[in-house]
A and B are shown apart, each in its own frame.
Chain A
Amino acid sequence: MGADPLPMLAIAVVGVPLVLGGYIYLSERLLGRGARKANSATRAAFWLAPALVLLLVFLVYPIVTTIVLSFKDATSASWAGLSNYGYVFTDRNMLVVLRNNLLWLVFFTLVTLTLGLLIALLADRVKYEAVAKSLIFLPMAISFVAAGIIWKFMYDFQPGGAKQVGTLNALITTVAPGFKPVAWLFDTSTNNAALIVVGIWMWTGFAMVILSAGLKGIPVELLEAARIDGASELQVLSRVTLPLLGPTLIVVATTLIIDVLKIFDVVYVMTNGNLGTEVVANRMYKEMFNYHNYGRASAMAVLLLVVIAPVMILNVRRFRQGGSNA
């Protein structure tokens, strides 16, 4: 049976370096016969080819196929024109899905960035900086699925009068005994916010670490010069620190945006998209694996690609320009 992992592993460990080494050796032998200078372009092409082939097979081919499938019907048997896109942008349930992604995009990104910046700034001034930052960063080490399960317990709901097991409701009912417990994940007025909070909890640490590093990169002389010139601390922050932190902020923001547009696990584990909490990636997963509607699933994948690609490009450009700043 082909699924036995051990021989496969052995082939991968021994075979792949062997083949690549052989390829390089052969191409060098081939090129070595000609003049060295003349075929530098050819040499580059030979060296690039394996990477390009991998890119073609694992990136370009799937993208093109997905785009083609998005114009076909559920079973990819015949062309469906724009009907899959029509569904994505007009179906009543899909509009809720798109609204939710927008909610995530705005609130997750803004709050995570603000909190990350605030904590980075505050931690910069205290002695126990390392401890504080480690604590905030800790959730990053937890998988989304585990975080979802942890927060499911945090949000647990029992009716008023009964013993509250959920941390949040227990806290509320202890502090304000008259207050009615809230079914955070099942009340349509709180459930999206409850999910976004989990995302924020996980990613604030990431924003904080990068921003904190950016903060350390700002020369102390600049800050001191501003202070000597009579700038108040708030002025130092708004006129010196923040402008210098600009490129870093943009890198963090774009990373968060790319991340949030693909959000899936938290929703999948905590509500499975019920009661108006579904997001594009969850819907795509259902259309693909539960409903076998490849057309619609592909259309949603293309939608995500089109939205994320410009942000990615921006991010890569930033990295290239301001490697030293960011």
Chain B
Amino acid sequence: MKKSLTLLCVLLACSAFVFAAPAAKKITVLGVWGGQEADVFNDMCQAFTNKTGIQVEFEATRDLDAVITTRVEAGNPPDVSALTGPGKMIELAQKGKLVDLSTVLDMAEFNKDYAQGWKDLGSVNGKLYGIFGKAAVKGLVWYDPKALKAGGFDEPKAGWTWDDMIAECNKIIAAGKTPWAVGIESGSASGWVGTDWLENIFLRQNGPQKYQDWYNGKLSWTSPEMRKAWQTFGQIVADPKMAYGGAQYINATNFGNAAAPLFADPPQAYFHHQASFIQSFIQNQFPNAKPVADFNFVAFPTIDPKYSKAMEVAADLYVAFKSTPEVKAFMNYIASAEAQAFWAAGTGGLGTNRNVALTFYPDALTKRAASILNGTEIVVFDASDMMKSQMNNAFWSAVVSYVNKPSDLDSILADLEKVRLDAYK
């Protein structure tokens, strides 16, 4: 009895000690980053901690959508989350879970630093809820200029058309080679690479207005425009001569390794379609490959000349669930050019703050991507990331099914239409 009493006293003393410990100033951030991206994020946060004394606790998950949902529903959201697209932000904002950032940010500074396009994308019903951290330009076609030259093929020029591209591909096929390298595997988000293809095709066939109708759920998936975009995509992925390895290889290959056939010796393919971020993947996998000399990009081929100026982008965005002084300091820091320069230098992530100086970008290719982003006339956001998550998920899976069996297109589109009617009631 006496022994247990002593034990109890010790335990109580311990707990008193624990309770008395002063709470350190810190914030929690939930995001998707791992590997190099997580390193850059932590470096960026370290600079913040050095300045303010506020610790940043970063937690990463590959299934952000589900984790955020559970934590918000359970009343235990993180302080800040880095989302992968505005779709989830819109959903959370409409449920009243997010902090209106105009009460958090130095708005005079923000208005000076950010283009109207980014403000609009981060707003719901006129209120600002999200600030974009790092951006990527989508719809770039990557190639190895030396390989093309060695094979006797032309280097694609800016302003090339879809027909030019197909003609070039036929030349490559005629020489007994395969033009495209495509890989769309990505764990629980498999298929998203194909949605990028479709978005770029659709945008260049139908223009930004129709594109917006599409992601807002106002366009039928069984419409002729939609079907035409899928069939255009099919010219590449449904033809085993066009894409290296055929349908099963496309479905089985992770997007991060998908550019590898371009750099095989001899090259197994010549073109690869992916956003600007793929550069850091290529350089990690092939450390000797030099930007511009060994790999380069050109904008996605024009389809309808009317819409040749449109550019698709994607970006991570930060939203806040709580409005503490620590969160305020962090959000203002995230929005600054100083913070974004970390991404520019570390991963070639493009700054959304227009004051991120071009000097921060590590090489000529990233600089070119950054200046394309700053100078584009029509910026549209990745459509699938703007859709409701149910629609987005179904869209990803539909691409996988289509690549597997293009002749199923009718039933695949009919299924997507059913999801649209259900999600946008």
Enumerate chain A interface residues (CB-CB to B < 8 A). 1, 3-4, 6-7, 10-11, 13-14, 18, 92-93, 156-159, 162, 183, 185-188, 268-269, 272-275, 285-286, 289-293
Alpha-carbon gap, A285 to B69, bound state (A): 12
Instruction: Tell me, rounded to whole Å, the shortest Cβ–Cβ distance linking A169 to chain B.
Output: 11
- Most A CB contacts (10 A, CB to CB) among B244, B251, B405 go to B251
Chain B residues lying within 8 Å of A13, measured Cβ to Cβ, are 11, 15
Q: Are B70 and A159 in contact (CB under 8 A)?
A: no
| Besides A186-B252, A274-B251, 17 new A-B residue pairs in contact (Cβ under 8 A), listed by A number | A1-B23, A3-B28, A4-B23, A10-B15, A10-B18, A13-B15, A14-B11, A92-B415, A157-B248, A158-B245, A159-B244, A186-B251, A290-B389, A291-B389, A291-B393, A292-B69, A292-B389
Q: Are B251 and A183 in contact (CB under 8 A)?
A: yes
Segment of B185-193, B212-220, B329-337, B353-361 engaged in the interface with chain A: B185-193
Instruction: Tell me, rounded to whole Å, the shortest Cβ–Cβ distance linking B397 to chain A.
Output: 5
Instruction: Tell me, rounded to whole Å, the shortest Cβ–Cβ distance linking A283 to chain B.
Output: 11
Chain A residues lying within 8 Å of B423, measured Cβ to Cβ, are 291
- Most B CB contacts (10 A, CB to CB) among A4, A158, A290 go to A290
Q: Closest chain A residue to B419 by CB distance? A: A291
Chain B residues lying within 8 Å of A274, measured Cβ to Cβ, are 190-191, 251, 397, 400-401
Q: Are A157 and B252 in contact (CB under 8 A)?
A: yes
Enumerate chain B interface residues (CB-CB to A < 8 A). 8, 11-12, 14-15, 18-19, 21, 23, 28, 63, 65-66, 69-70, 76, 187-188, 190-191, 244-246, 248-249, 251-252, 268, 389-390, 393, 397, 400-401, 404-405, 415, 423
Q: Are B251 and A275 in contact (CB under 8 A)?
A: yes
Q: Are B401 and A275 in contact (CB under 8 A)?
A: yes
Q: Are A289 and B69 in contact (CB under 8 A)?
A: yes
Q: Are A289 and B400 in contact (CB under 8 A)?
A: no
Alpha-carbon gap, A268 to B63, bound state (A): 11
- Most B CB contacts (10 A, CB to CB) among A11, A18, A286 go to A286
Chain B residues lying within 8 Å of A6, measured Cβ to Cβ, are 18, 21
- For this complex, 15 residue pairs linking A to B, each with C-beta atoms less than 8 Å apart, are A7-B15, A11-B15, A14-B8, A159-B246, A183-B248, A183-B251, A187-B248, A268-B188, A269-B187, A272-B190, A273-B397, A285-B66, A290-B65, A291-B389, A291-B423
Q: Closest chain A residue to B20 by CB distance? A: A7
Q: Are A162 and B415 in contact (CB under 8 A)?
A: no
Alpha-carbon gap, A3 to B401, bound state (A): 42
Chain B residues lying within 8 Å of A92, measured Cβ to Cβ, are 415
Instruction: Tell me, rounded to whole Å, the shortest Cβ–Cβ distance linking B302 to chain A.
Output: 31
Alpha-carbon gap, A18 to B7, bound state (A): 12
Which of A3, A10, A158, A291 sits near B76, CB closer than 8 Å? A3
Q: Are B19 and A275 in contact (CB under 8 A)?
A: no
Chain A residues lying within 8 Å of B76, measured Cβ to Cβ, are 3
Instruction: Tell me, rounded to whole Å, the shortest Cβ–Cβ distance linking A322 to chain B.
Output: 40
